[in-house]
Structures are given as structure tokens and as C-alpha cells.
A and B are shown apart, each in its own frame.
Chain A
Amino acid sequence: MAELTIAQALNAGLALALEEWDEALVMGEDVGRTGGVFRITDGLQDRFGADRVIDTPVAESGIVGVGFGMAVVGMRPILEMQFMGFSYPAFDQVVNHVARIRHRSRHRFTAPLVIRIPYGGGIGAAEHHSESAEAIYAHTPGVKVVVPSRPHDAKGLLLAAVEDPDPVIFLEPIRLYRSVKEDVGEGPVRVAIGSAAVEQQGSDVTLISYGAMMRECREAASAMTAEGVSVELVDLRSLVPLDVETIVRSVEKTGRAVVVTESPRTGGFASEIVTVIQEQALYSLQAPIRRVTGWDTVFPLKRGESLYLPSTERVLRALRATLED
């Protein structure tokens, strides 16, 4: 049994993808010789060659635009952005080309590529290195958005993303890269895009999150369990397509919900989840839904990070307040 971190699971998944599909290739800044800034592509260039693990000039729009052309011809480019704050120069390519070519060419041309984007704060990184802008991508019709929070899902979602006939924005929680190990399964496991995981069954309150914030949510859920509260913990794993059914079914059962995201609050993805619950499970609710999110501020530098990042304590407070309503 292979016990791997998220970083190792992604590396194993990328190696499998390169083995399984001749069309797959990895492209990005520093992905070859150094194995990427987070070493996710470590060793792949040695194994698969510089034609399939390609170090590019420092040009994010170039990486995505060139990858788009490759995908149209039938390649399966797996593109790496070094940090979410560095993905913005490529945003035009994503929104105006990658996301809409299927529609604007009526299925003649498609761009089945994967854009891997490490996201989120908590490691004391420099400015622009801690963004959590998933809502911007989720708001873009034509791209799928997935966010694993565990090694098994990281590998399974990555392989599903490479296999997917449509472009996938693959968000990687930086601060969980090396924090937990688990058995990821041998060989090409798959996690279906668009399916949430009910990580813990419960009956008193539904706690919904994804990606990096799952750590705080797991801690809060076990603290509540110790207090005798039954928390149902849902890891969305995919934001687009969203597993509405799992969310609604859970809230219908528990009657209470807390939604946790790291991103700024206004227009954030938590708002979408809250709205879905309001539209489809309002009459099951026994208390207002609560959001625990980052603030509508610029993400602070290292010394101010703890002010911004939702803590386990904030999640606990929200859970308690919801249960008391």
C-alpha cells in the first residue's frame, strides 16, 4: 500500500498520466530540471524526456495559449501555473479561448487541457502567492473546477481531469501538499469530477468546504464529535460541476449548515453554496446558514496571515452559533 502526501500523489498521478496517454505532456515554468517550485513534477523530465515535460519561458499567457493550440490538435497538455496570483496573466486565454472554443466551434475544436494552480495561503509566502480566487474560475462557463483536499482525491481527480474531454482548472491546496499521508491506491484510480464526498456522516449540522480549509473543518468536526455533536462533513472536491444533490440531501437531513471557504466573502463560492441550499432546502432549515470565509481584504503578508485565514476556532464558533439558533 502506498502512503503518499498530496504532493507525492500528484507526482504519481502525473507519471501515470504520462505513461497512460502518449498525448499527455507537462508544460510550465521550472517543471523540468527542478521539478517545479513545489517539486510536484520532480523526476518527470528525467523519466519522460524534455519533449514531454517542457520548461517554458516565464509567460503564463503563453503557456496556456500554446497549450490550447496543442490541445486542439489532440494533445493532453497538463499546464502548471506556479501560484494562483501568477495565473492572472493567462486569464484571457482561459476565459476567451480555452473555455469557449467548444461552443464557438460547435464541438469541432475542443481544448481538453488541465491547468494546475497551487492556491491558498498559510505558508508565509510572498505577496501574490496566497490567493484563493476559485470563484473567478467557477464563474467562467466552459471550464470545470476541481479542488482535492486529500492525497487519494488528488491523484484520482488529476487522472480524471487529464481524461476529461473538457478543460479543467485543477486547484492544489499549497498548505496541505505535505501535511497528511494516506493510501492513494495502486495504479490509475479515478475520482469522478462533479461528485462531493461525505467524509463523515452526521445528523445535527452539515459542514461544507473544499481544498485547504478541509483541515480546519476536520479539526472542528472532531472537536464537535467529542462534545457529542453529530457533524456531517462534506468535501465538495468539484466546484464545477457542483454536486448539488449531495449538498441538498445532507442539509435536508441535518437542517443546519455552515459553509467554509478561504476566499474573500463577497461573491465567493460560499455564496453559491448558500444560495443553492436556500433555493432547494429552505424548508428543512432550522437556523440561518453561516459562512466562514476570508475577509474582503488583500491577503496579508506572513505576519498578518493568521488574521485572515479562517481558523478552526472560527469554524467551531459558527457551528455552535448555528446549533444554538
Chain B
Amino acid sequence: MRQILTPSGGLVGEAPVDIEMTVRLYRAMVFARAYDRKSMSLQRQGRLATYAPFEGQEAAQVGAAAALEPDDWLVATYRDAAAMWMQGYPLELLFAGRTGHEAGGRPPDHVNVMPPSITVGGHMLHAVGLSWAEKLRGSSRIAMTMFGDGATSEGDFHEAMNFAGVFGVGVVFVCQNNGWAISLPRSQQTASETIAEKAIAYGMPGVQVDGNDVFAVHEAATEAADRARSGGGPTLIEAVTYRMGPHTTADDPGRYRDPEDAEDWERRDPLERVRVYLSERDRWSAEWQAEVESRTFDEVERAITLAESLYDPDPSHIFGAVFESSTPTLDAQRRELESLLEDDD
């Protein structure tokens, strides 16, 4: 397992990025954690629907997404808000989806990030098609897809890896192995010793990294992105990490896992080691951190307020995007709904 920055903040080998980039990555992780914690509390207040927290996985998401060019494709899941935000997905739209509004699924035109996949596994195939089509059209854009350890049991994981391997499609597969798929531990998900080794079966490189080490994740993702862009084909990255919280706000991890596990993983926190690293180089202070956090809370508050102020869905909202143009049958159903609503008024 590749590790560059140890949990105590020491280097094994060389840092893959300079200090400015390290500050940037750390700031993104601080932002991600504050966003995640704030989202949990907003959900508890009833302002968000079900929320899937990613605390503990900040380095995996930030380190991987930071390896992309701004117009590369990212095809990720409901737990990957930090990566999506890194790739330009506006915060208010992430919240819009979570308040229960489809407007959250429409990123700005220059942002090539698919709305988060809610079903598990099927989206990996989309990344293969996106990257392949970009190549056919003569563009150098590539696609990265993110998924969890549970998704590697889905048939579509196999089909996506197989297509990418057979056709040499430039895709970066990033598995955040966070140890748990809801209540199922990784040991019951697959008999493979590692998830990375599954890459061998598809004729592509597989690399296992400490997913809580932003340096290791970023280095592996950068190598994979370079390989994809230069015609070298796909790569599977297994970022070994841990989901510190529940699967979603609808779930209680106390029913299926030992609380001591989380304590053990707290000692391997992805932020703390970078904080120590920066601190030793005089690039960190408690005031600076507090300021980043406070700005994050302001930004989150602004975004959630924007999301909550979105228009209320009306009949044209649900009937207006089934097809590009409506059909007589849809028109008739829409009129039926409209007249029901008029009767209610």
C-alpha cells in the first residue's frame, strides 16, 4: 500500500506536490469536513433529506479530484460531494439535490460533472462511454469515476473495467474502500485480498494507496490521469479509508460495527497529518484554520439558503423534462394535474 505522508505527519520519500499545492489540498479538506458536518446538522434540523456523510474520506476525494483538468469528466456518487465540489459543482446545487429538487442535477454548462449516481455501480460504465467518446471526437478530456467497495460487487463494475480494458479507454477508476457497504464489511464483499488486485484481471494497472494520505492519493491519481490522457488506458486506484459516520442519516452503525474501529481510524485522520506537516513548515495556525472553517460555514449557509429559495416544482417541472418536446399523452396528463390543482385552490 502506497503511503507518502504518515499519520504522524512524517514523509516516506518525497512529497509529490509543493507547499502551495499542499496548502490548497488541505484547505479543500477543511472545507469538505466543515461542509459535511454542517450537512449532518442541517439534516437533523430537517432542512435536508437523507444525507450520506463522507467524514474520514476527505483525502481520497480531494486528492483524486485535484488530479483532473477543469473540464475533465467526473462521474461520482451520492457520497462524493467533496470531489464534485472540487471539480466545479456549485455548493448550492449539491444542496438543491439534497433538499429534494432536480435543479441540483444540472451543473453549469462548463462543469463536466454528472449528477451524483444514486444507484450503485451503473455509473462506472458512463465514465467509460464519456472518455471514449471524447477521444473519438478528438478531445483530450478524460473521465474519472468514483465508487465504494460495495460497488465492486456489482456486475457493472466488471463490465466497466472490462470495456475500459478491452478498448483501452482512458478512465480513472477510484474506489474509496471505506470498509463498509452499509452494514457489510469489506471482508464479506470480496474474497480478494485487495480491491486493487482486481485490475489484473482486466489488463490494467491497479494501485492500492493509503486513502487517508492526500499525497499518496493525489500522486496515484495524477499518474492515472496522465496515463489516461496520453493513450495509456485505464487505471484502478483503491484508496483505503474509513467511513467515520453512518452510511446515511437513516442508519445506526452501532448495530453492526465496533466503535473501537472508528477510534483506531481517528488516529489515522486524513486532515491531522497534513496539519502537522504544514505546521512543521510554518504554514498552519489555529487562527487560519478557524478562519477557513468560519468562511466555509458562511459559504454553506449562503448555499443552503439559495437552494431552499429555488422555485417550487409545478406541473411543468415534472412534465417538462421527460422528452425534449412534450407528447399529446403527456400534455393531457399535465392538464389533468393542473385542473386538480385548480380545484384545490
Contacts and interface: CB of A to CB of B under 8 A. Distances in A.
Interface of A: 25, 51, 56-57, 59, 61-62, 64-75, 89, 92-93, 96-97, 102-110, 141-142, 144, 165-166, 194, 240-242, 244-245
A242 B156 contact: no
Given A61-B156, A97-B122, 9 more contacts: A56-B163, A62-B125, A69-B125, A69-B130, A97-B123, A102-B323, A103-B322, A108-B107, A165-B323
Contact of A73 (B102, B133, B321): B133
Contacts of B232: none
Interface in B105-121: 105-107, 109, 114-115, 119
A68 B159 contact: no
Contact of B137 (A74, A141, A242): A74
A162 to B, nearest CB: 15
B160 A62 contact: yes
Contacts of B114: 72, 105, 109
A244 B321 CA distance: 21
Contacts of A97: 119, 122-123, 126
A39 B162 CA distance: 26
Nearest to B171: A69
Contact of A108 (B106, B124, B324): B106
Contacts of A106: 102-103, 105-106, 321
Contacts of A89: 155
Interface centre among A64, A72, A74, A194 (most CB of B within 10 A): A72
Which of A64, A97, A107 has the most chain B CB atoms inside 10 A of its CB? Answer: A97
29 contacts: A25-B136, A51-B136, A56-B163, A57-B159, A57-B162, A61-B122, A61-B125, A61-B155, A62-B163, A65-B126, A65-B160, A66-B125, A69-B127, A69-B132, A70-B130, A70-B133, A72-B114, A72-B126, A72-B133, A73-B134, A92-B156, A104-B115, A105-B105, A105-B114, A109-B114, A144-B323, A241-B327, A241-B328, A241-B329
B128 interface: yes
A194 B253 CA distance: 51
A88 to B, nearest CB: 12
B19 interface: no
B132 A166 contact: no
A313 to B, nearest CB: 33
A106 B320 CA distance: 9
A69 B171 CA distance: 12
B163 A66 contact: yes
State the majority secondary structure of interface residues on B. helix
Interface in B62-107: 75, 102-103, 105-107
A65 B117 CA distance: 13
B16 interface: no
Interface residues of B, number: 42
Contacts of B123: 97
Given A102-B321, A102-B324, A241-B328, A65 B125 contact: yes
A279 to B, nearest CB: 10
Interface of B: 75, 102-103, 105-107, 109, 114-115, 119, 122-134, 136-137, 143, 155-156, 159-160, 162-163, 166, 321-325, 327-330
A74 B133 contact: yes
Contact of A93 (B122, B131, B327): B122
B163 to A, nearest CB: 5
B156 A65 contact: yes
Nearest to B158: A59
B278 to A, nearest CB: 38
Contacts of B128: 65-66, 69
A107 B102 CA distance: 11
Contacts of A51: 136
Nearest to B318: A103
A229 B201 CA distance: 66
Q: Among A70, A109, A142, which residue has the most Cβ atoms of chain B within 10 A?
A: A70
A110 B322 CA distance: 10
